[in-house]
Structure 1
Amino acid sequence: MDDFTTTAMSVLITEVTKRATSAVLDRNWLPELEQGKRLLQQLLDSYAQEQFTSKYVTKILKIRTLHSPESDVYLNEIYTPLTLRASGDGGGDFELRVKDDKTIEHSGIVNIVGIAGQGKSTVMRKLFWEELKKSKRIPFFIELRKVETTIFEYLKETLKNIGIMASDDDISFLLQSKRIVLMLDGFDEIRLDYRPKILKEITDILNLRYQCPIITSSRPDTEICREVGVNSYTVQPLDVEDVCHLLIKLNANNKPVELVDLVRNNEYLQQTLVTPILVNLLFVSYPYLDSVPESVPDFYSKLFMTLFQRHDKIKNYTRERKSNYPDEKINDVFNSFCFNSLNKGDSDFTSRTLNKYITSSLDLETLDSSEPQLVWSDIIDITCLLQQDGYDRYLFLHKSIQEFHAAQFLADCRHERKVSIYSQILDKIDIDHKWDNVINFLSKVDENDFSEMFLIKKCQSIDLNHINTNKETVLSNAMSKILDNKYISISYNSDNGALMFNGRDYLQSFTFISTFNLIEKGNRNLIEEVEKPVEDSIRRLNEIMSGIDNSMKSEDLIEKILSISKDRVNSAMAGERKLEIPLEPFLQLLGFYDVLKKVVYSYLMSYYRGVYKPKARQLEVAERILDLEFRIS
């Protein structure tokens, strides 16, 4: 970033921030929310304004990228518009192109959903900037992985850091004012055991109690994606024009534009380059590649060594190194480091934790581990796949970098260790989704062992291999796994006899079906046919209560609902109780249990025939070939 750009952007950000603050304060505020307005008025102070602009807004709008590893770039220098798709109120889908002057003005909770590397955080930062420019609301951007207590406390601490002193009441009134919007980035990066607490704060406290507009982001199939009342906006894959536009943006240093022509004339590349991270990886590594990558895993597999050796390919350039290990060994150490840190749930490091992880990885590779800092310094300085972000804080360029190299570590493990690790992942994969993208990579880079040690074993864990000979037992066990600990939430008002649906658990969440989808399709997207019997049972409940369905009296339905409900919780409203009802008896009561059973059987047979059987047959053939090849004569 040159000095002129830095100065120009600094002036622009300052002016936009001042204008937004003044405009929001000039709007009509309800008298009872005046305390929240007084909090924002502190931003008119010159010191607070400067701190807000330099320490907060500017930091959000600056990005460190692979193509600019040694200096920050402003968002607008590299951003190319991305498209979000959502369901409209009338049931049809609509698309939103996130570009200049576009914001999401939804008053509830919007969740931006995207796969690894699809640009969720970048879209959030773009929306942050456009909110400021629009000057109707002040946006507050929070990376959820940094929240250690509550979002409320984190916001309070953020304001304190820019010189704004606020009490809890001040912030409560500000949240209720509808003059701010919370942008909560990376729900999937919250620790699994901490997510329920944060989700409850987002839905019940921040949005329901304070009615504060919220925009979140997440990978697919996290808890917030399934929450009732949360509107999902899905990031769409890049098309060829998006790819070319991004490449031109990245071409600020006048690198050869031949890459754009290559993409336009290569249909396979167009099908592969569906996320911004892949376009960035191609742009940076292309000048040093011996061949164009042929798949997504091929992009990642070439990346480390290409970047680590790129200076060697520049004529008359002598690369400076701090460590003296062979390049391949450094690559192995990086793979081990990625697996170990991912397994521990770490993606944010200090020099101390880097030393710990790299020492462990060097020991594993039987290398001298007395100076681990030399190794991680080389990884940071040469590859830029791990980057410094402020004082003594280091991050992966992108989460998918850690995930791919973790997969590569497992693929390279000796047989006994690999069997053990696959088995441990299998035990947790239904409920712990941190391995999802690793599984996607393993299905490509470790295809045979992945099929034998993971895919086949997962199918056998529910006895899918016996479905033709023991149908009823297999189906009964599958139904138990699907319905175990699944509830529907209903409010019952004893004063007027009203029943109201509040929410429900999804059948496929944290079950083998979700994992089966991951194995087959690379995602955990819900299968509508499996969820439909539950939706139909809720519809029938509403029809009985409204008198449309006369097959059961409403008072009889209420009596039976009360008899099967569990964990009754008193509501804040007089005469109202919130009922938690196990889904299995609920479906039986409304007549949809057998319907679900047929749907599950159909799904299991389809998976058996389409996934399990072909893969099992393929492994049998491979085993016979190996027996013939290595038979001693």
Structure 2
Amino acid sequence: MGIIEGIAIKGLTTLTTTLVKKFVELGWNNVAKEFEQTFNKDDLIAFCKACDEYVNIRTLYSSQKDVFIDDVYVPLFMTPIENKKNEYEISNLSFYNEGITSIIGKAGQGKSTFLRKMMINELKSGGTIPIFFELKYIKSDTPLLSQLTEWFERHNLKASEKTLNRLFKEGHIKLFLDGFDEIHPKLHDDALSKIKDISRSYPKTTVIVTTRPDTLITTEPFISNFIVKDLTTNNVRQLFMNISNKDEEQTEEAMQQIEEYPHIKEITKTPILAILLFITYRAWSKIPDNLSDFYKKIFITLLTHHDSLKPGKKIDRGIDIPLNDHQIEDIFGIFCFMTFSEDMSAFSIREASELMEKALETECYDYVNPDNLVDIIKKCTGILCSDGYDVLTFSHKSLQEYYTATYIKEQSIHDKRNFYKSVKCSEQERKYGAVLNFLKAVDTTHYTTYYYIPCFKEMFKTDNVKPKLTQEVICQGVKNLANTVSVPFTISKEMESSKDLDPKKHSIGVRLEAKENTSTYFYMQLMQAVIIGLIQSNIYFDFVDENIDLIKQRTEINEEYEISLNSLLTKIPEEDSQKFYNFLEGAVEEFFSKEYEYLIARLKKKKQPSLLNKVFKNKNKKEIIT
């Protein structure tokens, strides 16, 4: 018996029996007959077996065999973006919310695991039939309902679109959509439109989407946004216990060392980095004392830890590769850059070998067998792992992004300058956002010079970059933001005033009207602050009350009433407008001040003459005197 079958078949059987009875009572005899034939017990068992793929996962510490998600799951909390005092933990929660819910989490924060756990809960409860659809596979040329029908067929349930249409309309399906950020940026608008169409067509259906921060879906109106909270110290301890097979001594030693290094403690806030940190600790018997050292050790640690050998000792991998570990790491960085730039998160073994061959040729290692190198990285690091027959994928997208960043870091100043200039636009920033975040850590000087400062000057309308953010510059930035953001309004015909707006069901959104060749780096980080400011100040609701008839007229012809933020602020009392501006100025100070001052101060230090320059300058002076 499969895992899902054991925990879900009873609930699903009960649900289908109830639905057949309901359809008969409604006089939908043909629907009841088709549904009974499609969702019979044998097919439901086959469906459960097919769904095992979502609950048996590969991890960095178990790359060669599946582990059941409940055996490694660490409780995660999410909180509504407009009210962070409320927390939801989904270990035993069957989450229900009409419309679209967006779960926002950083790279490696466990969004997919979170969603898979939700799916298990739904299967256990037998309340609805869950669909777990990975958005990286969404097709732009096919309606989403048709793609979901295909999903059922792949999972051994041959339901017609008509049957699915009935189930969606009655709210008997719960739709889990994983990884909006994994869709190609050019397809974001189309994918969002498809998701919204499904939600509009089937308002009783709960649609839950996971995404990284600052994607298109996070700023869309009428979508409920929840943020995944960072791991707590207890979460990290529990995660370490899972990794170490309940080794309390090893876990406590690692936790004690983490407490000694606050900067390292910061990185244990996401499961992926906490896991990598523990693997590093097991291999080196020491927690790295800074972030840079940690990142540098990741690959070598993963390459060696499966063999349980101490660092420095030659590893017998059973495959002849005439490269040392650091050379393998360099080649892998090239491989990651090539796959990332081509939007390849998964590839056939043949494609992997061809890409690895090109990477080897780039470094003049064309005498090395690429098949062997792919095999080593797969078996010894777990960064590449099998995902079905003849398919390889990255165990986590953030690892591909990190090694892409390390490759870029090693390029010439000329090439890096061109790269930073080329990605300073909204479309490329969507794609390379996480890579840029890693470059901020590993290539700080050039990142600051060629990317951060030009973006800053553009957003804050200034030519001067001073050691600290001045109030004048902050004000200029906020005014520019207000001119670049618009606020859409849509309400139902029945509403008499904003008092009829249920904040739990009515999520406010904003739109960024930036030009294609403009950076959105600073703008996107302030979007949520704009939304919170509009809610807390009541500006949004007051505007609805004063313009409700006009907004209704637009709604009746399926249009939104949209107004620029700047225009909105001119239509309210000056005192309220100033309070809103003050709130945004505080957000700019909170979000950017610390980062800005650190990067500018570090750049100033780096611009001083290098030690090499000083030594040879002094030597030349002595020779002239002699």
Is TM (by shorter chain) over 0.5?
A: yes
Where does 1:127-526 land on structure 2 (aligned, <5 Å)? 127-148=118-139, 149-252=142-245, 257-264=249-256, 266-267=258-259, 268=261, 270-289=265-284, 291-310=286-305, 311=307, 313=309, 318-368=316-366, 371-428=369-426, 432-462=429-459, 463-466=461-464, 479=479, 483-484=483-484, 486=486, 488-490=488-490, 506=510, 515-516=521-522, 526=528
Structure 1 residues 17-26 or 37-46, which shifts more? 37-46
Aligned to 1:4: none
SS in 1 for 2:157: coil
Quote the offset at 1:609 in angstroms.
7.2
How big is each residue's C-alpha offset from its partner over 1:98-122, in whole Å with a ceiling of 9 and x where there is no partner? Answer: 22x3221223322222111111111
| Rounded Cα–Cα distance in structure 1 between residues aligned with 2:258 and 2:471 | 48
Q: Pick the aligned partner of 1:66 from 60, 79, 84.
A: 60
Deviations for 1:246-275, whole angstroms, at most 9, x for unmatched residues?
Answer: 2222233x7674233330464135443112
**Structure 1 residue 498: Cα displacement:** 9.6
Partner Cα separation in structure 2 for residue 295 and residue 35 of structure 1: 66
Find the aligned partners of 2:563 and 2:111 in 1 and give their Cα distance: 36
- Supply the AA of the counterpart residue of 1:244: R
Hey, what does 1:117 align to over in structure 2?
108
3-state SS in 2 of match to 1:461: helix
Q: In 2, Cα distance between the equivalents of 1:608 and 1:532?
A: 21
CA distance in 2, matches of 1:273, 1:608: 22
CA distance in 2, matches of 1:456, 1:43: 60
Q: Secondary structure at the match of 2:226?
A: strand
Residues 525 and 276 of structure 1: CA distance in aligned 2, closer, same or farther (over 3 Å): farther
- TM-score normalised according to structure 2 size: 0.82
Correspondence for 1:98: 90
Distance 1:538 1:348, change over 3 A: same
How high is the sequence identity, in percent, across the aligned residues? 22
Cα deviation, residue 61, structure 1: 0.9
Q: CA deviation at 1:166?
A: 2.9
> 1:3 maps to which residue?
none
- In structure 2, the partner of 1:16 is 7
Q: Give the letter aligned to residue 69 of structure 1.
A: S
Residue 316 and residue 215 in structure 1: after superposition, are their counterparts in 2 closer, same or farther (change >3 A)?
Answer: same
Contact 2:168 2:205 in 1 (8 A): yes
Counterpart contact for 2:47–2:155, Cα < 8 Å: yes
Bigger shift: residues 315-324 or 330-339: 315-324
Alpha-carbon distance, 1:223 to partner: 2.0
Aligned partner letter, 2:274: V
Q: Distance in 2 between matches of 1:92 and 1:442?
A: 30
User: Residues 283 and 480 from structure 1, CA distance in 2 versus in 1: closer, same or farther, beyond 3 angstroms?
Assistant: closer
- TM-aligned CA distance change 1:152 to 1:536, over 3 Å: same
- Displacement, 1:87? 5.8
Q: Which moved more, 1:183-192 or 1:155-164?
A: 155-164
Structure 1 Cα separation of the partners of residues 608 and 546 of structure 2: 60
Residues 14 and 53 of structure 1 are in contact (CA less than 8 Å); yes or no, is this contact kept in structure 2?
Answer: yes
**Is 1:49 matched up with 2:39?**
no
Aligned-residue offset at 1:577: 5.5
Q: What CA distance in whole angstroms lies between the structure 1 residues aligned with 2:314 and 2:588?
A: 61
Deviations 1:587-618 (A, max 9, x none): 44556797577777787799997665664454
Change (3 A) 1:301 1:256: farther
C-alpha displacement of 1:157: 0.7
Check whether the contact 1:407–1:438 (CA below 8 A) recurs between aligned residues. yes
- Please, which runs of 5 or more residues in structure 2 have no aligned partner? 622-626
User: 36-45 vs 72-81, which deviates more?
Assistant: 36-45
Tell me the distance in 1 between the aligned counterparts of 2:16 and 2:208.
22
**Cα pair 1:172 1:210 within 8 Å, conserved:** no
Contact 2:268 2:274 in 1 (8 A): yes
Q: Can you give the 5+ residue segments of structure 1 that lack an aligned partner in the other structure?
A: 1-6, 547-553, 563-567
Deviates most, 112-121 or 431-440 = 431-440
Look up the SS of the partner of 1:394 in the other structure. Answer: strand
User: Which residue of the other structure, out of 113, 117, 120, is the alignment partner of 1:126?
Assistant: 117
Instruction: Call closer, same or farther: CA 1:601–1:22 in 2, change over 3 Å.
Output: closer
Could you tell me whether the CA contact under 8 Å between 1:459 and 1:612 is conserved in 2?
no
AA matched with 1:293: P
Between the aligned partners of 2:473 and 2:315, the Cα distance in structure 1 is: 68
Aligned-residue offset at 1:172: 0.9
Q: Deviations over 1:56-103 (max 9, x none)?
A: x21111101111111111111211211222268xx573112222x322
Q: Distance in 2 between matches of 1:171 and 1:163?
A: 14
Deviation at 1:621, TM superposition (A): 4.0
Question: How has the CA–CA distance of structure 1 residues 331 and 524 changed in structure 2, closer, same or farther, with 3 Å as cutoff?
Answer: farther
Contact 1:426 1:458 in 2 (8 A): yes
**Partner Cα separation in structure 1 for residue 526 and residue 395 of structure 2:** 25
The residue aligned with 2:624 is: none
Distance 2:591 2:519 in 1: 10
Once the two structures are TM-superposed, the CA of residue 143 in structure 1 deviates from its matched residue by 0.9
Q: Tell me the TM-score normalised to structure 1 length.
A: 0.81
User: Structure 1 residues 589 and 146 mapped into 2: Cα distance closer, same or farther (>3 Å)?
Assistant: same
In structure 2, what residue type is equivalent to 1:506?
A: V
Q: Following TM superposition, by how much is the alpha carbon of 1:359 offset from its aligned partner in structure 2, in angstroms?
A: 2.9
> Counterpart of 1:395 in 2: which secondary structure?
strand
Deviation at 1:184, TM superposition (A): 0.9
> How well do the aligned residues superpose, as a CA RMSD in angstroms?
4.0
CA contact (8 A) 1:37 1:174 kept: no
**1:32-58, CA deviations, whole angstroms, 9 ceiling, x for partnerless residues?**
777665555345535423321222x21
Match of 1:460, SS state, is helix
2:86, 2:11 → 1: CA distance?
A: 29
Q: Residue 527 of structure 1: which of 526, 529, 549 is its match?
A: 529
Q: Distance in 1 between matches of 2:103 and 2:532?
A: 24
Contact residue 221 and residue 524 of structure 1 kept, 8 A: no
Contact 2:9-2:45 within 8 A present in 1 as well:
no
Which moved further from structure 2: 592-601 or 290-299? Answer: 592-601
Does the Cα contact within 8 Å between 2:221 and 2:507 map onto a contact in 1? yes
Deviation at 1:540, TM superposition (A): 3.4
Contact 2:175/2:206 (<8 A) preserved? yes
Give 2:542's match in structure 1, choosing from 540, 543, 554: 540
